[in-house]
């Protein structure tokens, strides 16, 4: 599970000169965006990890490379993407082949793919550098075509975005990845495949929407269409399985021919011969018999195709697919019209089909109407924007509502576990940006302010517990800076160069103990992941927390809440 970008190529088909020219051109894109990488730096007998601007590492020709794992604008980090200057590095893992197109190599069995090496096979997790890594991969595919191919968790819209950025920098424009260019992909596959093998290869390797793959295949080769579709249905044992429902939806979206779909699923001897009643009931799960207005609520869950996905989004999609597979339907067949087709084809099951279908349609209508009603009741008007200083409020309503939590009226006596969960949700929603980008003078939402006060109280408690360990280490080392270097080295903490500069400056101040504390303390798993990194990265956030710790009124307020929580748990 993750947001991947993969790039494969055939190294034995590439000359050294072609590869070297490509490598130099990738450096143009590398320098045009604040890509970041991790480097180790010696600090006496310790090594600290720094998050630095990525660059061409020219130590030795055989080991020359560049590597990126995030960007210095968002400060977000994911997995590394690396390109070696030495072509032999990739040849050593492969053998020569007679294939004239990487698509031909991709279509071979895994054990037979001996002339294909991987350049990228890592996760961006949807971090901002995703689009720019995709641009690098597209540059490599374009310059090495037809011997390279990029695929993974990206859309055509994201590829267009990457191309638009890169075309402003390189001398010759980039091509779209072949696996999202249906005409080019089909034409290239047709050079060495035909019939069912061509259908299977296109459907399996296509990197675009599934319904588009079927539309292309059905339009290209009508004679093969039904036979191939039957073979896909026969992969499943039941008409109720998610994979079958997706095939039904794709057929209906593209062809709209319910009668032929019923024949393929239930009557054709070469097909799966599903029970007509089971087929009719499962059709209801496609929502083809529901008026489109019934499932308008599903628009809330649509993702913008030009924005990289997230792991959370992938999990959400899986959950939606399990219960709301029909959200992908684009065809409407009135219920009575659909029933007339089904009972004409299966007259012996007429009564049971009508009973089951009407009951299922009524159930989905009720569920979706309830969801529409709840969505209308819970619809919140948001007026939040980002400026250079981070997240700020712009003419926020005083009665901003967060579920059942009235933030404006929130007092110490009102705080409970559900409230705090709501506060945490609105503050971060799992993101680290609030902590990383806080600046002195930033206008805070009320729940953000309260959350910051809670962190200050927590930090004060933690610092009291860590003080003796801090002094003990200081007594054995030459300076408080060395204490922080040693702790960071042991804990594997990676920070930006700017953060390390400020940490060294603050080591002998009261902030030193705060920094040490958040290097060593084990935070509650429920605590948002950005807390630790925000405190270590952001000097202004540290100062804000130190100021709050000295505010007796704030500390008393949070202490009262903490006592109330302890009282309810005892």
Q: What is the largest CA-CA distance in the chain?
A: 90
Return the half-sphere exposure (C-beta side, CA atoms, 13 A cut-off) of residue 390. Answer: 22
Q: Which residue has the higher pLDDT, 163 or 443?
A: 163
CA distance 279 to 379: 37
User: Which structure tokens are listed for 207?
Assistant: 């990197």
pLDDT of 374 > 90? The answer is no
Question: What is residue 112's predicted lDDT score, i.e. its pLDDT?
Answer: 65
Helix H or strand E encompassing 284: helix 276-284
Using the Cα atoms of residue 502, residue 503, residue 504 and residue 505 in order, give the sign of their dihedral: positive
pLDDT of 402 > 80? The answer is no
How do residues 544-565 score in pLDDT, each as one tens digit?
999 999 999 999 998 888 787 7
pLDDT of 487 > 70? The answer is yes
Question: What is residue 527's predicted lDDT score, i.e. its pLDDT?
Answer: 65
CA distance 361 to 283: 10
Give burial (CB, 10 Å; 0-12/13-18/19+) of 320. middle
Cβ proximity of 276 and 353 under 8 Å: yes
* Owner of token pair 């604040």: 34
Range 280-286 average pLDDT = 95
How do residues 42-55 score in pLDDT, each as one tens digit?
998 899 999 999 99
Cα–Cα distances (Å) from 492 to 486, 488, 530, in that order, read: 10, 6, 16
pLDDT of 511 > 50? The answer is yes
- Per residue, what are the HEC states of 302-360? CCCCCCCCCHHHHHHHHHHHHHCHHHHCCCCCCHHHHHHHHHHHCHHHHHHHHHHHHHH
User: Which structure tokens are listed for 352?
Assistant: 């049971």
Across 142-156, 230-244, 362-376, least confident range? 362-376
pLDDT of 102 > 60? The answer is yes
pLDDT of 385 > 50? The answer is no
pLDDT of 408 > 50? The answer is no
Give the 3-state secondary structure of residue 285: coil
Cβ proximity of 413 and 561 under 8 Å: no
Question: What is residue 396's predicted lDDT score, i.e. its pLDDT?
Answer: 29
User: Which structure tokens are listed for 569?
Assistant: 């748990």
Question: What is residue 272's predicted lDDT score, i.e. its pLDDT?
Answer: 94
Kindly indicate the confidence band of residue 110, based on its pLDDT and cuts at 50, 70 and 90.
low
Range 320-329 average pLDDT = 85
Across 78-82, 181-185, 213-217, 286-290, least confident range? 213-217
CA distance 325 to 249: 9
pLDDT of 335 > 70? The answer is yes
Range 462-475 average pLDDT = 90
pLDDT of 414 > 50? The answer is no
Q: Percentage of the chain surpassing pLDDT 70?
A: 87
Question: What is residue 214's predicted lDDT score, i.e. its pLDDT?
Answer: 82
Cβ proximity of 217 and 259 under 8 Å: no
Cβ proximity of 496 and 50 under 8 Å: yes
Q: Which residue has the higher pLDDT, 181 or 317?
A: 181
Question: What is residue 321's predicted lDDT score, i.e. its pLDDT?
Answer: 78
Range 264-289 average pLDDT = 94
Q: Which residue has the higher pLDDT, 90 or 255?
A: 90
Helices (H), 151-241: 156-167, 182-189, 195-205, 210-220, 222-233
Range 394-402 average pLDDT = 30
User: Which structure tokens are listed for 290?
Assistant: 């529901």
Phi, psi of 50 (to 5 degrees): -120, 140
Question: What is residue 521's predicted lDDT score, i.e. its pLDDT?
Answer: 85
Which residues on adjacent β-strands are paired with residue 48? 41
- Compute the CA torsion angle 356, 359, 360, 364 (nearest 10 deg): 170
Across 173-177, 370-374, 392-396, 494-498, least confident range? 392-396
Q: Percentage of the chain surpassing pLDDT 90?
A: 56
Across 6-15, 95-104, 111-120, 352-361, least confident range? 111-120
Rank 214-223, 275-284, 291-300 by mean pLDDT and report only the highest. Answer: 275-284
pLDDT of 430 > 90? The answer is no
CA distance 284 to 355: 12
* Owner of token pair 């930090």: 459
Torsion-angle region of 68 (φ positive above 0: left; ψ -120 to 50: alpha; else: beta): beta
**59-62: Cβ within 8 A, 24+ apart:** 61/85, 61/86, 62/86, 62/88, 62/89
Across 92-101, 394-403, 422-431, least confident range? 394-403
Kindly indicate the confidence band of residue 67, based on its pLDDT and cuts at 50, 70 and 90.
very high
How do residues 163-186 score in pLDDT, each as one tens digit?
999 999 999 999 999 999 999 999
Range 522-542 average pLDDT = 80
CA distance 65 to 83: 6
Cβ proximity of 492 and 388 under 8 Å: no
Question: What is residue 386's predicted lDDT score, i.e. its pLDDT?
Answer: 35
Using the Cα atoms of residue 142, residue 145, residue 151 and residue 157 in order, give the sign of their dihedral: positive
CA distance 484 to 512: 8
* Owner of token pair 């083809």: 288
Range 336-356 average pLDDT = 95
Kindly give the pairing relationship between strand 46-53 and strand 494-496. parallel
Length of the chain: 570
CA distance 544 to 538: 10
Kindly indicate the confidence band of residue 529, based on its pLDDT and cuts at 50, 70 and 90.
low
Q: Which DSSP symbol is given to 175?
A: P
Average pLDDT, the chain: 84
Kindly indicate the confidence band of residue 26, based on its pLDDT and cuts at 50, 70 and 90.
very high
pLDDT of 502 > 50? The answer is yes
Give burial (CB, 10 Å; 0-12/13-18/19+) of 198. buried
């Amino acid at each position: 599970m993750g947001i991947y970008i993969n790039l494969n190529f055939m190294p034995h088909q590439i000359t050294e000169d072609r590869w070297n020219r490509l490598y130099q051109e990738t450096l143009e894109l590398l320098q045009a965006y604040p890509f970041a990488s991790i480097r180790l730096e010696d600090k006496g007998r310790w090594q600290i990890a720094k998050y630095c601007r990525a660059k061409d590492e020219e130590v030795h020709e055989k080991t020359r490379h560049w590597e990126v794992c995030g960007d210095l604008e968002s400060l977000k980090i994911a997995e590394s993407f690396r390109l070696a200057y030495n072509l032999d590095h990739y040849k050593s893992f492969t053998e020569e082949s007679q294939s004239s197109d990487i698509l031909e190599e991709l279509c071979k069995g895994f054990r037979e793919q001996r002339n294909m090496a991987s350049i990228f096979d890592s996760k961006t997790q949807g971090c901002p550098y995703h689009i720019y890594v995709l641009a690098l991969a597209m540059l490599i595919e374009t310059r090495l075509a037809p011997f390279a191919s990029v695929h993974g968790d990206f859309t055509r819209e994201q590829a267009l975005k990457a191309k638009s950025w890169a075309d402003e920098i390189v001398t010759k424009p980039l091509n779209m990845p072949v696996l999202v260019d249906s005409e080019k992909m089909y034409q290239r596959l047709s050079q060495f495949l035909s019939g069912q093998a061509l259908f299977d290869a296109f459907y399996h390797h296509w990197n675009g929407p599934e319904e588009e793959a079927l539309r292309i295949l059905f339009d290209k080769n009508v004679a093969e269409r039904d036979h191939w579709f039957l073979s896909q249905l026969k992969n499943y044992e039941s008409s109720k399985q998610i994979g079958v429902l997706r095939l039904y939806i794709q057929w209906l979206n593209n062809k709209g021919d319910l009668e032929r779909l019923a024949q393929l699923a239930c009557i054709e001897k070469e097909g799966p011969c599903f029970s007509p009643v089971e087929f009719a009931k499962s059709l209801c799960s496609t929502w083809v018999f529901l008026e489109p207005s019934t499932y308008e609520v599903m628009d809330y869950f649509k993702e913008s195709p030009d924005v990289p996905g997230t792991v959370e989004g992938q999990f959400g999609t899986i959950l939606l697919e399990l219960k709301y597979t029909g959200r992908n339907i684009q065809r409407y067949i009135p219920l009575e019209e659909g029933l007339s087709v089904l009972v004409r084809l299966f007259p012996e099951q007429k009564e049971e089909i009508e009973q089951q279908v009407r009951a299922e349609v009524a159930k989905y209508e009720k569920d979706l109407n309830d969801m529409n009603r709840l969505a209308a009741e819970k619809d919140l008007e948001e007026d939040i924007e980002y400026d250079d200083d981070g997240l700020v409020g712009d003419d926020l309503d005083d009665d901003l509502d967060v579920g059942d939590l009235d933030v404006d009226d929130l007092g110490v006596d009102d705080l409970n576990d559900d409230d705090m969960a709501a506060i945490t949700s609105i503050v971060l929603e799992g993101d680290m940006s609030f902590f990383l980008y806080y600046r002195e003078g930033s206008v805070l939402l009320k729940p953000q302010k309260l959350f910051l006060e809670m962190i200050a109280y927590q930090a004060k408690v933690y610092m009291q517990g860590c003080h003796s360990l801090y002094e003990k280490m200081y007594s054995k080392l030459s300076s408080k800076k060395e204490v922080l270097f040693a702790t960071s080295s042991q804990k594997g903490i990676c920070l930006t160069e700017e953060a390390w500069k400020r940490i060294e400056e603050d080591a002998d101040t009261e902030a030193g103990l705060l920094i040490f504390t958040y290097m060593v303390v084990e935070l509650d798993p429920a605590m948002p992941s950005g807390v630790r990194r925000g405190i270590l990265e952001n000097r202004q956030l540290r100062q804000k927390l130190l100021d709050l710790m000295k505010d007796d009124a704030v500390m008393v307020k949070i202490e009262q809440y903490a006592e109330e929580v302890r009282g309810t748990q005892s």
